[in-house]
Amino acid sequence: MKKHNFSAGPSILPEFTKEETAKAIIDFAGTGLSVMEVSHRGAEFQAVVDETIQLIKEILSVPEGYSVLLLQGGASLQFYMAPLNLLVKKAAYLNTGVWASKAMKEAKLVGEVIEVASSKDKNHTYVPKGYEVPADVDYFHITTNNTIYGTEMFSDPEVCVPLVADMSSDIFSRPVDISKYDLIYAGAQKNLAPAGLTLVIVKDAALGKTGRTLPTMLNYQTHIDNGTMFNTPPCVAIYAALQTLKWIKNLGGLEVIQKMNVAKAKVIYDELDRNKCFKAVVPNKEDRSLMNICFVMREGYEAVEADFLALAKQRNLIGLKGHRSVGGFRASTYNALPIESAQALVDALKEFEANH
């Protein structure tokens, strides 16, 4: 029976990505060697890197004057690397959850950090609005999607300072105006590739202004100057990313992906709003994530939470348990999740309601 993978990350990847990467693990580009064991300096793998970067630029419409880097260390390293390269004196952050808080903590090691707004008062179940970003900060940092709490920002903020974004869990899920950002970073283990790869898109003109001497590996310019291969890159993850990018392009690009994601999320949210046993954690529909749908038992049904997880297991609905810090349930509906899986979850929600 088909498995329906709602895991938050590492998460579901397209069948095409898995199949093509599996082939390359046995025989890469007709070399008779595995992509796990070929030289990253060889012509065959250089072609992979070049095509991956070209497709990222094409699919995201990256303007001239930006560099695309394929790094390691995840978003967690970028929490420190970003301010190290961009923060001169002071930066502003929007606090929308755990990952935004972690990013703020690391930035404070580099300079002054201002929290312009926070959704902590309601356990991060909404996206703050109506805040003001000081004009004298070096940049404003946002986390566009919050995997733990299920909120998402769907538009690029209009601010008069450089904009930095952690897009780890919603990049490639919708069109983005890259020109509004000085820096975008994303761990790949959601919509792009297996864990181990980190995508960075940086505006070249934003670099070299801090006056500090940077560690070689933590300097974006190092990786720009070395064609994003200063040291050995995560070869398998990059190859997998290339397959995912081909899959996105063949589907029709981000406009098509976005329509698919909206349709999947609507199926689930509509049922949660109707169901007598379950409800969505995020009350405001405009703040509800298309990537991570968080839900809980309605009042009076809390005692049977484990029963639903047992039913989910029987129905091959995988990865629905909520983050350990908040509990409840979480259905992660990343790009590769088919709408059939969303419907399978809805069927289970209805079945549970009928039995209780």
Report d(CA 163, CA 180) in Å as an integer. Answer: 7
Read off the tokens for 22. 């599996």
- Residue 352 near residue 28, CB atoms below 8 Å: no
Catalytic: which of 138, 170, 182, 190? 190
Gap between the Cα atoms of 121 and 126, Å rounded: 10
Torsion of CA 95, 287, 266, 294, to 10 degrees: 40
Q: Is the separation of the CB atoms in 117 and 95 below 8 Å?
A: yes
Cα–Cα distances in angstroms (integers) from residue 85 to residues 180, 202, 212, 218, 338, in the given order: 18, 10, 9, 8, 39
Q: What is the DSSP string of 273-320?
A: HH-SSEEES---GGGB-SSEEEEEEPTT-GGGHHHHHHHHHHTTEES-
Identity of the amino acid at 191: N
Q: Among this protein's residues, is 246 annotated catalytic?
A: no
Catalytic residue among 138, 166, 182, 287: 166
Catalytic residue at 138? no
Q: Please state, in angstroms and as integers, the Cα–Cα distance from residue 114 to each residue in 101, 146, 162, following that order.
A: 12, 20, 15
166 is catalytic: yes
Query: Residues with catalytic annotation?
Result: 99, 166, 190
